[in-house]
Chain A
Amino acid sequence: MSAGPVIPDFGDPSACVASDATFCADWFTDHWWNLFWPALLQHLELTLIAVVLGFVLAVAAAVLCHFKGWLAAPVSAVTSFLYTVPPLALFQLLVPVTGFSVLTVEIALVLYSIYLLFTTFLTGLREVPGDAVRAARGMGLTRRQILFKVELRLAVPSLIAGLRVATVMTIGIVAIAAYVVDKGLGSLILKALQSPFNTQFIGAGALAVVLALAADGALVLAGRLLTPWARTRRA
């Protein structure tokens, strides 16, 4: 083994890289625009698509089950079964059908997150104070108006809570999706696994953590803005 740099073709190695240090900040910043930033954007994109799709499907399923109570048990059974399949196995199952594609990744991500979203949303809808709904009915709001003006509005804290867990979880699973598509921070990590040079691996991993924290923070903030009534409890 030579003592020289292991990462090939990135120009003259700096002192840090040459000494094979654990983390080289200069190498990280040098490769921000051509390596980390694009991967971060891909990671975010894969996550967003999955979470938005999962959100829409889960809200639709929860509303349907809220209206037709008998649907809740079967929907819950199916989604919880999907949740028990390990994500990696789910990818494996889908590849023969949809290939090594973004589609495969998104299907798996959505199927995996939907159980969590669905159960929190349904609970949120069911926990809307019965008094408010009875008052709304008694005032002559239609079923639709009650759903949109009362129930979904009061379920916002649950929607946000579900989204927070699902988003953080999805950001983690997208990293594994690198086995299927060469995208996201996961692919940087996967490639770096074979090399003793750790900066790429550590940098990508840290970015995934930062992304998860930032997404979580953004959702908390959105929740605050959407629920002004919850901030004004009497002292």
Chain B
Amino acid sequence: MSTEKTPASAQDIVFDHVVKTYPNAASPAVDDLSLTVSAGEICVLLGPSGSGKTTALMMVNRLAEITGGDIRIGGRSITDHDPIELRRSIGYVIQQTGLFPHLTIADNIATVPKVLGWDKRRVKDRVAELLDLVGLPVAEFGRRYPSQLSGGQRQRVGIARALAADPPVMLMDEPFGALDPITRERVQDEFLALHERIRKTVIFVSHDIDEAVKMGDRIAIFREGGKLAQYDTPRTLLKEPADEFVARFVGADRGLKRLTLTRLAELDLTPATSGDAALPAIGADASLRAALSLMVAEGTDAVRVMESGDGGGGGEVGAGGEGGEGPGGAKALGTASLDAVRKAGAA
């Protein structure tokens, strides 16, 4: 997840000593939150239930009004905007997508463009473009109702709808929370691939550390009482948790989780020799964790790393050929030893 490419359309989001105290609440739901989400990055808000993640997110589009501090998008305070105008310039995706059950997929996506007064032609083209972007051809899906889609498809429509007016910023509140693990992983991969192309600034709420590590350029860990415990890249967070709370939250297996951050392709592989044919094979796309898992499963202390397909971030095709002999003539790139994996993971 490189962050170099930041087209003009993305904007940074700055939380500046933000406080939210709900009326009649004894203590704040979000307490003195300061963090900066760089333009084009995905920031994951992670924390236990009730720690204020949703509240922090909803303050950005003023579904919850801040009671202290300020939030700036692209340098401009959100309180300078009319809330309605502000929301129309921010993509918003919630769990179960919040699709309108009474509107077709096309009409769902067209909602914001229509209230913005776009002409019919432009709305229609935009709907087709977006459905195409999320892999649901408009001819087949445009006239269906949400109840006629699978959960994963609905989620993709939710994302397309949030992108309709090409907002520089997207807010996503546990968008994949209701999906089964396999579908969730696929939709996550698709979203990452999509993000590579569109590079919006994204704030993404999750309560799943694995999802956060996978999706986030940076992760903000919240603790009870709406306090920010740590804000760092996944790698730093897993390597140097700021305190006991963060260490417990990221889990005792944080060493293993760190292995998911590196792909075999990034290792200096040992050149293949004739004796390697017996080693289990795995695609270069796979993470160090998958390689380690394979070594444990097969009782070896090295794996044979095979050239993998296009290497694109997953997408529709099942995740890179884990352990399988690639069909046809997949070329062996070399081998990775247990020691190499351990060292790379510790780096």
Instruction: Mark A residues whose CB is within 8 Å of B.
Output: 129, 131-132, 134-142, 145, 149-150, 153-154, 156, 227-229, 232-234
Contacts and interface: CB of A to CB of B under 8 A. Distances in A.
Interface centre among B88, B90, B100, B112 (most CB of A within 10 A): B100
A136 B84 CA distance: 11
Interface of B: 58, 61, 63, 83-90, 92, 94-103, 111-112, 115, 144-148, 161, 171
A132 B108 CA distance: 11
B101 A140 contact: no
Identify whether the interface residues of B are mostly helix, strand, loop, or mixed: mixed
The 9 closest A-B pairs by CB, nearest first: A135-B98, A140-B87, A140-B88, A138-B92, A131-B98, A229-B145, A229-B102, A153-B102, A140-B84
A126 B314 CA distance: 42
A154 B102 contact: yes
B147 A132 contact: no
DSSP class of A's interface residues: helix, strand, loop or mixed? helix
Contacts of A140: 83-90, 112, 115
Given A229-B145, A233-B147, A234-B147, A135 B92 contact: yes
Contacts, number: 78
Contacts of A139: 87-88, 92, 111-112, 161
Given A142-B84, A229-B102, 18 more contacts: A131-B94, A131-B95, A131-B96, A132-B99, A135-B94, A136-B98, A137-B63, A139-B92, A139-B161, A140-B84, A140-B88, A149-B111, A150-B102, A154-B100, A154-B102, A227-B102, A229-B101, A229-B145
Given A140-B87, A140-B88, A229-B145, A135 B99 contact: yes
B115 A132 contact: no
10 contacts: A129-B101, A131-B98, A132-B101, A134-B63, A135-B92, A141-B84, A142-B84, A229-B103, A229-B147, A234-B147
A131 B175 CA distance: 12
B71 to A, nearest CB: 15
Contacts of B100: 132, 135-136, 150, 154
Nearest to B144: A232
Given A229-B147, A232-B148, A141 B101 contact: no
Nearest to B98: A135
A132 B98 contact: yes
Contacts of B112: 139-140
A227 B102 CA distance: 7
A141 B115 contact: yes
A145 B63 contact: no
